Amino acid sequence: MTGIGAAAAAATPSRYLDPAVLAGVRRLELRSRLVAEGFLAGSSRSPFHGSGIEFAQHRAYSPGDEVRRIDWKVWSRTDRLSIKLAEVETNLRCVFLVDASPSMRYQPLGGDRLDKFDTAAVLACAGASLLTRTQDAPGLIAFGASVANLARLPCRAHPGQAARMAQALEGLAPAAPGGTDLGAAAAAAVESLSGRGLVVVLSDLLVEPTDLAKAAARFRHARHDALWLQVLDADELGFPYQGRTRFVDLEDGSEVVGDPRGLRQSYLDALEEHRQAIRAAAAAHGQQVALVDTSAHLDATLHRILHARRQRAGRPG
C-alpha cells in the first residue's frame, strides 16, 4: 500500500483545449461559486470587511457641516442636502498565493475528496469571487520551489477575474520538486502590490518556521496584511493508515516503510509541534494561521476563517 500518491502528470499545450480539461475548469468555477454563495448565505457582511468599495454613505446635512462635504449629485436627484460620510477611492488589492508544490498533490485515501491543491484553488477562486462583488481586485501567484513558469495574474477588479484564476489553476502542472520557496513567493506578492494590500497564502506550510517568519516579516515591512491558510488533508491530520505501509515523499521521492501503529503518535506529536511553531512565527508579525481540513465543507471553512478574522480585528459579525 502506498501512503502518499504520485503527483499528477505534467500538462501539455494540447491539454488546454481538451474537452475534459475545459469541463474541469467549469467544475472548478462552479465549485468556487457555490462556496462563495454558501458563505454569503450565512453572512450579510463583506467577507473582507474594511476593503475599499466604490460606495459612499450619507447622512442629512446639519447646520455647521462643511459645505464642501455636501453631495450635490444626491441633492440634484432628491432636492435634499446630504453629507458624504465616507468614500473609498482605491479598491483593495489582494494576491492569492497558491502553493503548487508536489506535496500539495497528495492523493487522499479512498479518493472521495479534493486534494490539497484543488482545495486551495477552490478557496482562492471563491475568495476572488467574493472580492469582485465589492469591486475589489484579486490577483494570483502560484509558487513551488520558485514562482517561475507557474500561473500569475495581476490584480484586477473585473467580474471575470475568478474565472480567469480558475482556468489558470486548472491547467497548471505540478511544480517541479525542490521544496516550497516562501521567500520567492513573498517577494513576488510584494512586487505585485502597490500601496497597502492583502496577501492570502494557501499552502500546506510544510516549511521551516524560520522561512515563514521571514516571509511574514516581508509582508509586515511592506505594510500588507497577510492571512495564512494551512491546507492539510484529513489523512495528514488523522493518520488513518492500517497495516504495513510505504510512505513516499512527493518532494524528493524518498521512501519509508513501516507499521503505522508504531508511527502514529510520534507523527501526530511532530505535526502539532510544527503547527504551533508556524502559528507562533506568523503571530510574531501580527498575522494569523488558520487550518483548512480538506474533508470539511469549504463554505463553512470560509465562513469560519473570515468570521475569526473579523473577531480578531474587533469587528462584530
In one-letter notation, the amino acid at residue 230 is: Q
Q: Which domains does the chain possess? A: 13-48+90-312 (3.40.50.410), 56-87 (no CATH)
pTM: 0.76
Determine the Cα–Cα distance for residues 279 and 223; give it in Å rounded to an integer: 20
Provide CB contacts within 8 A for 62, sequence distance 6+. Answer: 83
Query: Which residues in the chain come in under a pLDDT of 50?
Result: 1-18, 21-22, 43-56, 86-90, 316-317
pLDDT the model gives residue 21: 45
Determine the Cα–Cα distance for residues 191 and 270; give it in Å rounded to an integer: 35
Determine the Cα–Cα distance for residues 51 and 136; give it in Å rounded to an integer: 7
pLDDT digits (tens, 9 = 90+) for 176-217: 787 889 999 999 999 999 888 899 999 999 999 999 999 999
The burial of 48, by beta-carbon neighbours within 10 Å (0-12 exposed, 13-18 middle, 19 or more buried), is given as: buried
